[in-house]
Structure formats: structure tokens, C-alpha cells
């Protein structure tokens, strides 16, 4: 039983999440021969202020790059 835990920053739409689940499941079926009904994908959305990147919190890093938190 494959279990995939995908962690992303907040902001993905329901449609984007559905596509991620579909494509990750498809990859496990196509590459490893797993059954889709035995495959679990969990998406955890994490606030940018709770995610570190390049030695900074992601929202601070984006501001330093000239972007706004929540973009990209």
C-alpha cells in the first residue's frame, strides 16, 4: 500500500490538488505497478511563515526577492 505525504505551501486550488493526487497515483501505477485503490496521497498545506527556505522563512525570502507572500 503506497502512502505519499505531499507537503506544499498554502494556496493550491481544489482542482490543482485533485490533479496532483491523480498524477501521483498514475505514476505509482505506471512505474511500480501499484493498484490505485491501494494508493493513498495526503496533501498537507503549510503556511509560508511556517516553512523555511534558504535560511529564512519563506514569506520573508519572497519579500526579499521582490515578491509578495502567497505568490508562486
Whole-number pLDDT of residue 54: 87
Residue 7 pairs in a beta bridge with: 44
Backbone angles phi, psi at 32, to 5 degrees: -105, -5
Q: Which CATH architecture has domain 3-64?
A: 2-Layer Sandwich (3.30)
Res 71: pLDDT: 57
Q: What is the pLDDT of residue 70?
A: 56
CB-based burial, 21-53: b 16+ in 10 Å, e otherwise: beebbeebeeeeeeeeeebebebeeeebeeeee
Spell out the domain ranges in the chain.
Answer: 3-64
Return per-residue pLDDT of the chain as tens, 72 residues. Answer: 999 999 999 999 999 999 999 999 999 999 999 999 999 999 999 999 999 988 999 999 989 998 665 555
CB of 54 closer than 8 Å to CB of 61: yes
C-alpha span between 7 and 71 (Å, rounded): 17
Amino acid at each position: 500500500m503506497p502512502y505519499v505525504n505531499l507537503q506544499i505551501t498554502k494556496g493550491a486550488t481544489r482542482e490543482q490538488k485533485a490533479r496532483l493526487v491523480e498524477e501521483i497515483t498514475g505514476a505509482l501505477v505506471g512505474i511500480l505497478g501499484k493498484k490505485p485503490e491501494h494508493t493513498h496521497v495526503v496533501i498537507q498545506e503549510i503556511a509560508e511563515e511556517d516553512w523555511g527556505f534558504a535560511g529564512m522563512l519563506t514569506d520573508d525570502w519572497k519579500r526579499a526577492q521582490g515578491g509578495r507572500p502567497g505568490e508562486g
